[in-house]
Structures are given as structure tokens and as C-alpha cells.
A and B are shown apart, each in its own frame.
Chain A
Amino acid sequence: MSFINYVINGLSLGSIYAIIALGYTMVYGIARMLNFAHGDVIMVGAFTVFFGVSMQGLNPIAAVFVSIAICITLGVTIEFIAYRPLRGAASSLVVLITAIGVSYFLQNLALLIFGANTKSFTSMVPINPVRLAGGEIVISGETIMTILSCIIIMISLTAFIKKTKPGQAMLAVSEDKGAAQLMGINVNGTISLTFAIGSGLAAIAGILLCSAYPSLSPYTGSMPGIKAFIAAVFGGIGSIPGALIGGILLGVIEILGRAYISSQLADVIVFMVLIIVLLVKPTGLLGRKLQEKV
């Protein structure tokens, strides 16, 4: 029975990774950059809710929407100020380092405003835990909420990309920026939209993450950000179903590894699995192989 509990916990953590990985994978697909600051947007989202609810007594639901709005604004602003001027720069490393600078900036800004102490985050989920099989399997409210949100986000995002004009524009830009521009697509606007969606998802992920694991510090987003990025690579970067599969697998492997092998070596196992998967299938589980032209 404890095995089933672990798997459920793994699904919950994996869903959070999947939501974060979506942001990574969409931005990578369109702008071809590793947005290292994505993890810190998660932290900003969680801090906004913490500040609103615990310090200002705001209605939790209102706080969640405020948080999403702030993260969207933040994501678009970061893209506009720090990444857009570097588009077309000589080396892709340059944008990576700038993203690291943005990440430092957000962490230290949070450090300045809220201090280094870990805050205890009150869960935003008003659902009672469900007990099954005579109370042996416990599914917490946070788990239900997380998995539900993940499913809803996946379905609506896929529908958005397949059925709407802006969604199709995103696909076109990720395929070929120049050709998309010639077809009259506003490339800059589409990239901004991608950052907006990714950052909005990061806010949701941050709130869910801190509801399930209620400690919040300026560095909260950093490790989940890296793990989610690994999930994105694992599933095949640039692929939306890949992010879902990668995230879920990563979460389950991490929780099972922590439970059955060693809590200290759980991360080692996660990284090992990543390396093995990439060695066997270098573009990730669902990634497309790009032919290199001479």
C-alpha cells in the first residue's frame, strides 16, 4: 500500500515538474534559449501569494490571480528588456548568461524584500484529503488539485496551439522565424505571448509547489527549475506532450528513489536516468531528430 502512496506522491510532484517544464519547452521551442530565470519566476509567483494572503489578508483566490498577472507581466518584461535586444547575437551562450543574470537579480531582489529566512507557506488548496482502501491510501487535497490542474493545463494548451491563430503562429515561429515573418506573423509579439504563457504557468506551479511542500525562500525555485528543465529534455525539448511525460516520470522516479534506495541519492538517480535515456535516444523520448546539413 505504501508503494501506491509513493506513486501518487510521485504523480503529484511530477505534475508540478510538468507544468514548469511546459514553460521551458515552449520558450526553448520558439526562442531557442534556456531561460534559466524560469525557476525564479516560480519563486516570485509563490512569494506574491504569500505576501498577499499571509501579510495583507487578501482572498486566496484573488491572490492566485494577482500572482499569475504579476508573473505574466514579469515574464514579458524580462523578455523585452534582457532577451529581445540579444536576438541575433553571435553566440547562444550570451543569452544563457544573461538569463543567469536575470535569475541572480530575481533571487537577490526577493532576498532584499523578504529576507533569507524560510517562510512557511499556507496551503492554497481548500480540498480535504481522500482516504481509500480503509484509510491506507491517502490522497491529499494538494495532490488532487495539482494533478487536476496539470490535466486542465495540458488539454487547454494543446487546444490553444492546435485551434487558435496565435497558437498556430507559435508553431510557425518555432519552425522558421524568417518564413513566419514573411507570412505576416508578428514574431516579437508571438515570442512575448510564449513568455506570458510560460510565466503564467510558472506562477501556478509555484503556488502548487509551495502548497505541497510548504517552505518558501528566495532559492525555492532554483532546484525545481533545474529538475523541470531536465524533465523537458527528458521528454524531448520543444515537445508539449514530452514535457508532460518527462515531468511525470521524473517525479515518480524521484519519489520512489527517495523511498526505496536512498534519500540522499534520489537526485543522483534522477540524473542517471536522464543520462541513460539521452544516451539511448539523444533527442529525448518524444523529440524530433533534426538532420544536420553540410
Chain B
Amino acid sequence: MEKIPKIWRENLITYGMVIIAYAVMQILISFGLVSRLVQGLLVPLCIYVILAVSLNLTVGILGELSLGHAGFMCLGAFAGAFFSKVTVDAITFSPVRFFLAILIGAAVAGLFGFLIGMPVLRFRGDYLAIVTLAFGEIIKNVINALFVGLDSNGVHFSLSDRAALGLLDDGDVIINGAQGIIGTPQDSNFTVGVLLVLLTLFIVMNLIRSRDGRAIMSIRDNLIASESIGIHVTKYKLMAFSISAALAGVAGVLYSHNLNSVAASPRAFGYNMSIMILVFVVLGGIGNIRGSMIAAIVLTLLPEMLRGLDRYRMLIYAIVLIVMMLFNWSPKILEWRERHSLRELAGRLRGRSKV
């Protein structure tokens, strides 16, 4: 029997972890061992995992800092929810409708990722961070002020208020400013979420191991060197950035179909959300896909686990975050860990027994 190549094995372990976690969760649910609270968290967990894995494509694989990921999620959420609300009577078979909504959400977010990426990706480092943050906030604020109505004359847009749409009597307001879209069908569930997580992992992990992926990573490692061997830097940067945006759009569609309304609130799509996703990526290990996944799950469940501590839980979360960062990255602590690691200890014991 031939040995499975190492890369495949690594990928299979990642898929396997998701599938096992899903199976265990389903068994626990069927025995009634999972509280309502945790059950309500299952779809958001899938959303965060998709967001973290897709942001890792930009931050870890492309090596560029983006703080506007929630903006792309917002675009996907609204594009998907808009489609679902308009076609809720026309397409009654919900899996097909949801599938189309996901395609549309991903396409819209990916398109904007491409359009925004074109001028923005020439910035580097902290400048890119602040510009992506600005774009994320622009998207959120514009959608928050956007009114879209539909009547027999077609689609109407306005950025001021509902009355400015000038709808006919048969018209209906689809996106209602700060209230957003109310009455999206609740098509998301845990199974669909896990399928989308697997799809995201499949796309990202295959991209990394492809010729294109290696080109993207060479840009991360040394831009000038990769340019000099003929790699089309702009093309690959845009490729990674728009795929990452499209996947964030998928997460957005999942989000807007989880509850029956979606609003462009700062809580859901503001820069704080982008920062939270970045925290998942960095804590899970920059460039480590499986790490992002685990960090997203642990950090989402952590505040819920700490619920018993009530008012102190977010404070403890903050302290845990700081301590984990110091423990994982401080040069002095790393050196100390090196000296006191188990392997080192074992080596010392072995050395002593020889004598």
C-alpha cells in the first residue's frame, strides 16, 4: 500500500476534525445534553470559523493586514438576504434558494474585494490596515443609510429616507435603512454551516498547495524577489484578497439567514468585528489554517464558559488574551519555555543517566 503524502494527511486531519466535531455535537444534541444557549451558538461558530479561515488567507498566506473583513461579510449578508427576501415566494424549495443566495453573496463580496483591492493593495503594513478599516466602515455606514424598495416599476434606491424612494402602492421596502432587512427566511442551520466550513477549508487549503498559492506565499516572503522572477504581484495579491472577501461574503449569507433579520449595526459589522476575527487568526497562529479554526471555536465559547463569572467574564477574556499573547510571543518567555520544555527536561535526565 502506498503511503499517503504528508500534505494530504495534514488536510485530511483538518477535515476529519470538523466532521468528528460535527458528529459528536449531533450525538450530544440527540441525547439532549447540549443547552439551548450552546445550540444557539453552533451556527455563529461556523460563521466565525469561515471568517477566521478566510482572513487567514489575507493575513497569513498573502501577508497583508486587513481590518475590513467585517465589511465584506456585511456585503455578503445583505446581498444574500436581499435575494432571499425577493425570491422567497418564487423559489419555495429552500436549499436551492439558499444555495443561490450564497453564490450571490460570495459574488458580490468577491467583486467588491476585487474593486477595493485594486487601489488598496499597493499599500503595505499599517497603512493597508487603516485603509481597509476605512473601507469596512464605509461599507457598513452606507448600507446603514441605504433604502431599497421594489415595485412594479423596478428597483428604487435612496440614501436619505423611506419616503424618497417614491414607491407605488404595490411596492415594498426591502432594505429599510438602519433597520436593515426584516423577514429573511431562516435557511441557515448547523449542518449547512459545517458544509460551508468544509467548503471554505477545501478552497483555502487547495489554493495554498497550488501553483497560485505558492506564488502568493512568495510575495509574502519577499515581494521584490518574487517580482524579479516574474511573478505578477498585483494579480496574485488581488486573487488572494478577493477570494478571502468572497468567503467572508459566504459567512455573511450564513449570518443573515440565521435570524430573520439583518441590520448593518456596528456590533455585527463594525471594525470591532474585524478586529475580533483578526484576534482569532493571530492567536491561532498566523498562516495556520487549523489554528484559526480552533482559536475561533475556543474564543467564541470562552465567554460562554465564563458565564458563571457573570460580570467579570469579559474582563477575564481580556486578561486571557493578553497573557496568551505574551506567553506565545514574548522573546524572553519563549527562551524560558525553550529551557524548561519537557523535551529539554527529558534530555537532561537522559544525560544524567548516562553519567
Binding site for B on A (CB under 8 A): 28, 34, 36, 82, 85-94, 96-98, 100-102, 104-105, 108-109, 111-112, 222, 226, 229-230, 233, 237, 262, 264-265, 267-268, 271-272, 274-275, 278-279, 282, 292, 294
Contacts and interface: CB of A to CB of B under 8 A. Distances in A.
A271 B133 CA distance: 9
B137 A271 contact: yes
Contacts of A230: 130, 134
Interface in B256-287: 271-272, 275, 278-279, 282-283, 286
B315 A262 contact: no
Which of B122, B125, B130, B279 has most chain A Cβ within 10 Å?
B130
Contact of A229 (B125, B130, B314): B130
Given A237-B126, A282-B123, A282-B127, A82 B322 contact: yes
B325 A98 contact: yes
Contact of A264 (B65, B144, B317, B330): B144
Contact of A93 (B135, B272, B282, B312): B282
Main SS at interface, chain B: helix
A102 B279 CA distance: 13
A26 B258 CA distance: 44
Contact of B138 (A111, A112, A268): A268
A272 B131 CA distance: 10
**Which size bracket describes the interface of B in this complex?**
35 or more
B311 interface: yes
A110 to B, nearest CB: 10
Interface in B49-98: 59, 65
A47 to B, nearest CB: 16
A100 B145 contact: no
Contact of B159 (A265, A267, A275): A265
Contact of A98 (B120, B133, B322): B322
B159 A226 contact: no
A282 to B, nearest CB: 6
A36 B278 CA distance: 14
Contacts of B349: none
